[in-house]
């Protein structure tokens, strides 16, 4: 967002602002508490809340907020508990609601939207561009979307429809429509005169798109080439034709990788007929990469979605349940595997103390393998050519680990229970289970990828299920054969 309002300061340390807002909120809360403590009749209390002091705090807070950049207000809203968040949200100028709703995380956005009525929401959405409205759309009530749609121009309606038609993880979802396009047969001077008619160019305009008379994309004209070259030059002589073109149905991740590889600031989005339909800018790519990285971390811990840290206990618990339920099932299964060897354990109770070691280390090792494989898959580094090679390598590492750490564990078992055969069973079980871990750690993400699913989601539950049950089975099985 271009900073047109000089009052909205950029800030190096947004935490400072958060603290100041918190202090103001405290003064406010303190005052309210004093009033409540006095146990006055309801009306009198309301009168008191309206005192001058109270008004001063609110006014101070409002002033503070007016001076902040929308992204900073979004940051502060995220860091405040629900009641305080809504109090601050009420104090934000209505005409800034839209841009702030775009900035906050989805979880916090829900809480803000829930506090607004139809008119407020329509007004907020009305301040936004078509591509931004499309981002908000899933969270807006239907009647609000109808209001918004009615208020748009025909061109904007077209854009909104287009933006909403693309899958969430496609280039179309990252795209905006704020691109400037020109023809290739004019001089730079004509281009400059055309550009001067704008008060301000759309942000991230590092280049202007060149199209032919049928709106077909033919190349880009970087702003700095306009600046560096003489005004008499013709666009077609200065423009770059060998440039990256994105397509709206492409995976967003692929576009992100292009931005990284080629250090882009903006890139044209072109449909199958070669027509320029929009552009993607680096700020959106940055947000996309950060969000993806966060959701990877969240998924690894089995959190279905981003969690508002101040969400209700009930809501947070639901976010975490699928994962715990799944893990409970695999734990029950592993428990039944052990159950089959109760007779063995009864005779040699040391097995019960040692079995979690066999299961645990193989699980850790398998997760290391999977992490490496998932990363290489994401980078597209795994080809049919090298998959076999990788399997051999992971097996070799596991064999090495099995001998080294299995050996250590075997010695541990021997020194505790003075049984050489127990030590050997321990080492063999570790070695075998580590090999199992290597195979599943490699196979599960590869198979999930083949099936078209995201290998980062759920791999670790399956792997742990197999290394746990497998570990118990191998260890107790070997013990039944060789020790009893």
Residues 19-38 that bind a second copy (CB under 8 A): 19, 22
Task: Using the rule CB under 8 A, give the single segment among 110-118, 125-133, 135-143, 236-244 that binds a second copy.
Answer: 236-244
Answer yes or no whether residue 112 interacts with a second copy by CB under 8 A.
no
**Which residues pair with residue 208 across a beta bridge?**
221
Cβ atoms of 126 and 173 within 8 Å: the answer is no
CA-based radius of gyration for the chain:
31
Taking Cα atoms as reference points, which of 176, 171, 274, 184 lies closest to residue 220? 184
Alpha helices in 180-279 (DSSP H): 188-196, 223-228, 235-238, 252-262
Among 354, 429, 435, 479, binds a second copy (CB under 8 A): 354
Answer yes or no whether residue 480 interacts with a second copy by CB under 8 A.
no
Task: Using the rule CB under 8 A, give the single segment among 89-97, 116-124, 382-390, 445-453 that binds a second copy.
Answer: 382-390
Residue number with CB closer to a second copy (149 or 417) = 417
CA distance 296 to 377: 14
Instruction: Compute the least distance from the CB of residue 11 to a second copy, in Å.
Output: 8
- Please enumerate in sequence order all residues whose Cβ is within 8 A of that of 198, keeping only pairs 6 or more positions apart, or say none: 180
Phi-psi region of 39 (alpha: psi -120 to 50; beta: other; left: phi over 0): left
Residue number with CB closer to a second copy (48 or 223) = 223
Cβ atoms of 430 and 355 within 8 Å: the answer is no
Answer yes or no whether residue 322 interacts with a second copy by CB under 8 A.
no
Residue number with CB closer to a second copy (147 or 455) = 455
At residue 211, the 3 state secondary structure works out as strand
Among 49, 195, 443, 447, binds a second copy (CB under 8 A): 195
Q: Mask 163-192, x = binds a second copy (CB under 8 A)?
A: -----------------------------x
Answer yes or no whether residue 51 interacts with a second copy by CB under 8 A.
no
Q: In the window 431-470, what residues touch a second copy (CB under 8 A)?
A: 468
Answer yes or no whether residue 78 interacts with a second copy by CB under 8 A.
yes
CA distance 286 to 356: 42
Report the sign of the C-alpha dihedral through residues 246, 250, 256, 262, in that order.
negative
Indicate the length of the chain as a whole number. Answer: 484
Q: In the window 386-425, what residues touch a second copy (CB under 8 A)?
A: 386, 389-390, 393, 396-397, 400-401, 405, 408-409, 412, 416
CA distance 323 to 300: 10
Among 79, 86, 91, 137, binds a second copy (CB under 8 A): 79
Task: Using the rule CB under 8 A, give the single segment among 40-48, 92-100, 152-160, 360-368 that binds a second copy.
Answer: 360-368
CA distance 337 to 320: 26
Answer yes or no whether residue 205 interacts with a second copy by CB under 8 A.
yes
CA distance 327 to 96: 44
Among 20, 187, 236, 376, binds a second copy (CB under 8 A): 376
Q: In the window 268-297, what residues touch a second copy (CB under 8 A)?
A: 282-283, 285-287, 289-290, 292-294, 296-297
Instruction: Compute the least distance from the CB of residue 457 to a second copy, in Å.
Output: 13
Answer yes or no whether residue 372 interacts with a second copy by CB under 8 A.
yes
Taking Cα atoms as reference points, which of 297, 441, 309 lies closest to residue 372? 441
Q: Mask 254-273, x = binds a second copy (CB under 8 A)?
A: x--xxxxxxxxx--------
Residue 201 in tokens: 């160019």
Among 94, 167, 317, 420, binds a second copy (CB under 8 A): 317
Answer yes or no whether residue 334 interacts with a second copy by CB under 8 A.
yes
**Bridge pairing between strands 207-211 and 181-182:** parallel
Residue position matching structure tokens 């939207």: 113
Q: In the window 215-234, what residues touch a second copy (CB under 8 A)?
A: 223-230
Residue number with CB closer to a second copy (34 or 349) = 349
């Amino acid at each position: 967002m271009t900073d047109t309002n000089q009052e909205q300061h950029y800030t190096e340390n947004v935490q400072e602002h958060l603290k100041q807002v918190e202090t103001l909120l405290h003064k406010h809360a303190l005052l309210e508490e004093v009033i409540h403590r006095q146990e006055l009749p309801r009306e009198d209390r309301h009168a008191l809340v309206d005192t001058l002091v109270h008004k001063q705090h609110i006014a101070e807070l409002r002033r503070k907020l007016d001076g902040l950049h929308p992204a900073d207000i979004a940051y502060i809203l995220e860091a405040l508990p629900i009641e305080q968040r809504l109090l601050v949200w009420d104090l934000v100028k209505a005409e800034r609601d839209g841009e702030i709703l775009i900035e906050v995380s989805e979880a916090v956005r829900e809480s803000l939207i829930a506090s607004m009525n139809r008119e407020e929401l329509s007004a907020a959405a009305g301040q936004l561009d078509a591509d931004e409205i499309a981002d908000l759309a899933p969270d807006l009530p239907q009647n609000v979307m109808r209001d918004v749609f009615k208020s748009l121009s025909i061109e904007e309606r077209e854009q909104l429809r287009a933006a909403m038609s693309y899958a969430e993880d496609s280039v179309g979802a990252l795209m905006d429509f704020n691109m400037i396009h020109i023809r290739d047969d004019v001089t730079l001077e004509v281009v400059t005169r055309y550009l001067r008619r704008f008060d301000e160019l759309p942000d991230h305009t590092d280049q202007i798109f060149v199209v032919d008379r049928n709106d077909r994309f033919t190349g880009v004209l970087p702003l700095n080439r306009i600046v560096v070259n003489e005004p008499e030059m013709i666009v077609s002589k200065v423009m770059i034709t060998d440039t990256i073109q994105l397509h709206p149905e492409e995976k967003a991740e692929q576009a992100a990788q292009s931005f990284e590889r080629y250090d882009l600031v903006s890139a044209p989005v072109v449909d199958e007929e070669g027509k320029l339909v929009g552009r993607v800018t680096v700020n959106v790519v940055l947000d996309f990469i950060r969000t993806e990285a966060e959701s990877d971390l969240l998924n690894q811990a089995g959190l279905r979605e981003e969690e508002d840290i101040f969400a209700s206990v009930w809501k947070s618990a639901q976010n975490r349940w699928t994962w715990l339920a799944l893990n409970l099932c695999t734990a029950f299964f592993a428990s039944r595997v052990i159950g089959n060897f109760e007779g063995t354990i009864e005779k040699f109770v040391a097995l019960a103390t040692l079995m979690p070691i066999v299961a645990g280390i193989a699980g850790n090792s398998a997760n290391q393998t999977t992490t490496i494989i998932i990363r290489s898959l994401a980078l597209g580094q795994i080809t049919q050519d090298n998959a076999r090679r990788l399997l051999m390598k992971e097996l070799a590492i596991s064999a090495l680990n099995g001998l080294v750490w299995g050996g250590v564990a075997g010695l541990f078992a021997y020194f505790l229970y003075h049984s050489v055969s127990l030590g050997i069973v321990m080492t063999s079980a570790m070695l075998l289970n580590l090999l199992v871990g290597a195979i599943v750690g490699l196979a599960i993400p590869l198979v999930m990828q083949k099936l078209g699913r995201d290998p980062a989601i759920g791999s670790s539950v399956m792997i742990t299920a197999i290394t746990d049950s497998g570990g118990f089975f191998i260890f107790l099985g070997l013990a039944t054969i060789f020790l009893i």
